[in-house]
């Protein structure tokens, strides 16, 4: 698995939720996001899936994003109020490909009579294997706009199944969002095909799909998990890589401390710049109306600057 979780903690929390339900604790979650009667309630495991669901579902869907704004989702796990929302919603959408280490336990704990529709968004996407001997994949598939289209389509199909009366609306909303993703892909292809350099230095090995789709190569300080501890040898390799390819920037992400990236940048006499893996938005970004498309466009702008 991509991430290891402490199953005992999750199971204790889950058991507590079901015990509360059995003794008559009714109502919705105490969190700010609540289930809405008369709409398809969809709980999503992290930000991109939340945006795709809202874009396709429109006014007929109430989407609840599990991971709070500004929180990095790799090591996040649901609390009791989150699990209660998940079990009482009509749909639960998760990334899959090993991204959410707690999901298997949650799905396995659902009672046989549960009507919850579970959607693995990355199913059918063009995934990158991280091990030749095992079915282990890089889960960051949403950073490919073409994969994002497949993921959005999986959500659309599930929404139609949950609310067939509004099939035409979901189809229309999906077609509109698909067009935006295709335009985004076209911009990436055009602008990145014209850059002199094709190598990037990043803090977190999250951009394999973006690199594959647009002919780039990434060297990272850390691995697939952004909180992995790099060794002195890792830092030495990164420094050598930047010198070899005459790189002027190290990319870091906003939801993880930039201390290591800035320290390495100072030693290598280069600058830092943001490359957002879109695992979540900050409060400021949400208030400013940022979304998947706008953040991906900012990523493109920064890539073009770094690759000149």
Give me the pLDDT at residue 227, please.
Answer: 58
Give me the pLDDT at residue 224, please.
Answer: 60
For 18, 99, 242, the CA distances from 223, given in Å and listed in that order, are 37, 14, 17
> 34 and 12 in contact (C-beta within 8 Å)?
no
Q: What is the mean pLDDT of each run of 10 residues along the chain (308 residues)?
A: 42 38 30 84 96 98 89 78 88 95 90 92 96 88 98 98 98 98 98 97 93 96 67 87 95 79 85 94 93 98 97
Give me the pLDDT at residue 228, please.
Answer: 63
Give me the pLDDT at residue 2, please.
Answer: 44
**CA atoms of 27 and 219, how far apart (whole Å):** 49
Give me the pLDDT at residue 234, please.
Answer: 83
| Neighbouring residues of 228: CB distance < 8 A, sequence distance ≥ 6 | 222
């Amino acid at each position: 698995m991509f991430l290891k979780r402490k199953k005992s903690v999750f199971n204790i929390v889950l058991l507590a939720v079901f015990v509360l339900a059995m003794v008559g604790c009714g109502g919705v979650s105490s969190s700010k996001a609540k289930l809405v009667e008369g709409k398809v309630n969809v709980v999503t495991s992290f930000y991109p899936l939340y945006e795709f669901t809202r874009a396709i579902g429109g006014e007929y869907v109430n989407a609840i994003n599990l991971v709070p704004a500004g929180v990095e989702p790799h090591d996040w796990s649901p609390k009791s109020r989150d699990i209660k929302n998940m079990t009482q919603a009509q749909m639960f959408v998760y990334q899959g490909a090993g991204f959410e280490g707690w999901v298997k336990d949650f799905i396995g704990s659902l009672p046989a009579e549960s009507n919850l529709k579970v959607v693995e968004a990355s199913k059918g996407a063009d995934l990158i294997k991280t091990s030749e001997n095992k079915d282990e994949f890089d889960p960051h598939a949403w950073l490919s706009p073409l994969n994002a289209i497949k993921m959005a389509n999986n959500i659309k199909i599930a929404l139609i199944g949950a609310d067939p009366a509004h099939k035409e609306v979901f189809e229309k909303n999906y077609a509109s969002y698909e067009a935006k993703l295709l335009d985004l892909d076209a911009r990436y292809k055009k602008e990145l095909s014209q850059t002199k350099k094709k190598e990037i230095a990043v803090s977190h090995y999250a951009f394999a799909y973006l690199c594959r789709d647009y002919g780039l190569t990434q060297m990272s300080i850390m691995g697939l998990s952004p909180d992995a501890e790099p060794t002195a040898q890792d830092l030495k390799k990164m420094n050598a890589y930047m010198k070899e390819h005459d790189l002027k920037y190290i990319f870091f992400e906003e939801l993880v401390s930039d201390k290591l990236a800035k320290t390495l940048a100072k030693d290598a006499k280069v600058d830092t710049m943001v490359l957002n893996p879109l695992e979540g938005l900050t409060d400021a970004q949400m208030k400013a109306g940022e979304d998947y498309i706008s953040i991906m466009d900012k990523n493109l702008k920064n890539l073009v600057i770094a690759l000149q």
